[in-house]
Structure 1
Amino acid sequence: MTHTSKTFDLIESLRANGDDFCIATVVRTADLTSAKAGAKAVVTRDGEIHGFVGGGCVTGAVKKAALEAIRTGKPGVVRIRPKDQVKSPVDTDGSPLYKSSCPSGGTVEFFLEPMRTARKLVVCGCSPVAQALVSIAKTVGFNVILASLAKDHAEISGADHYLDGFGLEQLDIGPSDAIVISTQGKKDREALRAALCTSAGYVSMVGSRRKIDTLKNTLSGEGKISRERLADLHGPAGLDIGAVGPEEIALSIATEIVATLRRPDRLANDDQEAISC
C-alpha cells in the first residue's frame, strides 16, 4: 500500500469515527528542504502526525499550526522559514509565519485544511422550547443531543442522540459546543451543575431571572464551580428579540448560540484548560 493510500484510508477512518483532524499539504518549497510540494500529512486532534512533510525541525510548527486550524476551523496557508528570516509572526500577505531551526535554511509553505465534526448542542429537558430548539438547531448543522430522563425521551423527536440523565462528562464537550437547560423544574440544579462543569463555549438556561439567580447562588455556595464560570451562564436564554411562544424563544436562543460561538474573542480563548468540578 502506498503512502498516499494509507493517508486517505486514515482520513476515511477518522471521518467514520467522528474525529477532528487537519490535512497538511506542502504547496511550495524554497532552497533545501526534505519535503517536496505535494507531500501530505494528517494531524489528529491529539497532535499525532501521520505522514511526512519534513524533518523534526519543522514538524513542531506543523503540529502547532494544524492544532490551531482544528481549533478555529479555518483553513489557510502557513509558512515555515529559517528563524533568522522571521521578524514577525505574520507574513506580508497575512499568512502565519513559524520559525525553523533547520541548518539547510529552507522554506516550506503548507496549506492546512481542518476537518471538524459538527458542533454539539446539548438540550437538557423536554419542554416545548426544547423541542423547537432541537428542530432549529438541526437546520443550522448542529449535532443535537437530548439529555433528560429516559422516560421523557419520547416527548422530543429529531435529536441525533439521546442521553439518559445529565452525565454530560461522557460527551467530550468542548469550547465550540453549546448546552441549553430547559428542564422546567425537573432536576434544574443537577442539569445546570453538569453543564457548567463542561468546557462548553455557550451555556444558557430557560427560565426567569429570579429562578436562575437563585440556582447560581446555590451552586456558588457548593464551592465546586468558580464565580467566573457561573458568570458565563446566559440567563434567561436567548437574545432579546421580543420572542413570544416556544418557536420564537428557540429562535432567539439559536441566534445567541451562533453569535457567541462565532465571536472572535471567544475563539482566541479556545485553548483554555478543561473545566473540572
Structure 2
Amino acid sequence: MSNGAVEGIGVLERAVELTKAGISFVMATVVWRQGPSSGQRGSRAIVTADGAIYGWIGGACAEPVLIREAKAVLRDGEAKLIWLGQDSDFLGLHIPEGVVTIPISCQSDGALQIFIEPVKV
C-alpha cells in the first residue's frame, strides 16, 4: 500500500509529477494530532485512485481509513476534514459542521485530523 515515508518536498515533487502526467490524486495533510500517534502535524501524503500512497500521515490504523476516504474525495470532488480517534474522543464534544468523525481502535489511543483535498487534472 504505502511507498514509505517521504518528507515534505518529496511529496510535493510527486504531486507535480502526477499533475504533469495527467493523473488525478488526493493530497492529505495532518492538521492536528493528540496523544501518541505516528502521524505528525504537517505530515503529508498523496493517494491515487488505485489506493497507492506516497508519503506518510500515520500508521496501520490511519492508512486504510485514509485510502477509503481519499477514494471518496477523488470520486466526489469535494475536500473533507476527517477526525480519526477512539469513540470516547467524540463523546460530549461539539463537532464542527463538515468534520467527519471516524472511530478507530488503535492501541496507541492517539487521534488525528486529516484534511483531504482532491487534485483533479
Who is 1:5 aligned against? 9
CA distance in 1, matches of 2:45, 2:8: 9
Give the SS at the match of 2:23: coil
Amino-acid identity (%): 27
Q: Which has the higher contact order (CA 8 A, sep 6+)?
A: 2
Q: Are residue 31 (structure 1) and residue 57 (structure 2) matched?
A: no
Higher strand share: 2
Who is 1:68 aligned against? 72
Q: Which ranges of 4 or more aligned residues in structure 1 deviate by more than 6 Å?
A: none
Tell me, which stretches of 5 or more residues in structure 2 are unaligned? 1-5
Contact 1:61/1:99 (<8 A) preserved? no
CA distance in 1, matches of 2:51, 2:76: 15
Higher helix share: 1
CA distance in 2, matches of 1:53, 1:101: 17
The counterpart of 2:50, out of the listed 46, 53, 62, is 46
1:67 positional shift: 1.0
Larger Rg: 1
Contact 1:79/1:98 (<8 A) preserved? yes
Number of equivalent positions: 113
Contact 1:86/1:98 (<8 A) preserved? no
CA deviation map 1:49-96 (0-9, x unaligned): 111111101111111111111111111211111145468xxx453311
The counterpart of 2:26, out of the listed 22, 25, 34, is 22
TM-score w.r.t. the length of structure 1 is 0.39
RMSD after superposition:
1.7
The counterpart of 1:59, out of the listed 63, 77, 80, is 63
1:94-113 counterparts in 2 under 5 A?
94-113=98-117
CA deviation map 1:158-200 (0-9, x unaligned): xxxxxxxxxxxxxxxxxxxxxxxxxxxxxxxxxxxxxxxxxxx
CA distance in 1, matches of 2:87, 2:55: 24
